[in-house]
Amino acid sequence: MSLAHRIIPCLDTDGSRVVKGVNFVGLRDAGDPVALAARYNAEGADELVVLDIAASRDRRPTFLETIRCVAAELSIPLTAGGGIRSLEDARAVILAGADKVTVNTAAVERPGLITELSREFGAQAVVLAIDAKRLNDHWDVTVRGTLGWAQQGVALGAGEILLTSVDRDGTQLGFDIPLTAAISRAVSVPVIASGGAKLPGHFAQIFSEGAADAALAASIFHDGVQSIRELKHFLAARNIEVRLPC
């Protein structure tokens, strides 16, 4: 029996408020993270991701309090990250109520961090976030090729890949199918596709053609463009395995 595909809302925060932009710029206020978490929990989301995109040290206490308040509203797994650079940072986020942590820049700079986190919390709790941007006919990540970095991250102990297309982020033009399919074929762990979702058909396509295990979106859920409940029924009607809300 195949595993159900997951629908995951994402809350990008500045520590205390949800924000959203296009291609990672032009940020606007998008609401209260605790209220949004409660809404998505009730709507049938499979998991929730909360990221501190400001991630400066002076915001860490604020972010941890946000995690505590969000976790109290959830009966689904919570992934949190942003500015996690050490085992101590990750432990604080887990103790605040997160089930998984996500790492990005710090892991690129020091890949051994992935192994440290995996040994401490288990691979299932370590999500490697990759922000990929197309350069000519291939993708790149700050300093590493996307495909090779994804494979290396899994070898080091990451239990999941959160793959964001920077080019598609916030555009609502659809997920990057070739990018997601290439990474999904190359690694043995689940891949969460992110960047560009708007229409129900975009989700159907990323599961059927992009081979993603999960799909993440933000503004379309925050703004009420797409209902998680209706989206799941749309997918189920097209024989895409999902966990239908009660």
User: What is the set of active-site residues?
Assistant: 12, 131
CA–CA gap between residue 8 and residue 112 (Å, rounded): 28
- d(CA 172, CA 66) in angstroms, rounded, equals 27
Provide the CA 72 distance to its chain's centre, in angstroms.
20
CA angle, 5 then 179 then 119, to 5°: 65
Distance of alpha carbon 235 from alpha carbon 197, whole angstroms: 14
Q: With contact defined as beta carbons under 8 Å apart, do 46 and 214 qualify?
A: yes
> How far is 60 from 97, CA to CA, in rounded Å?
14
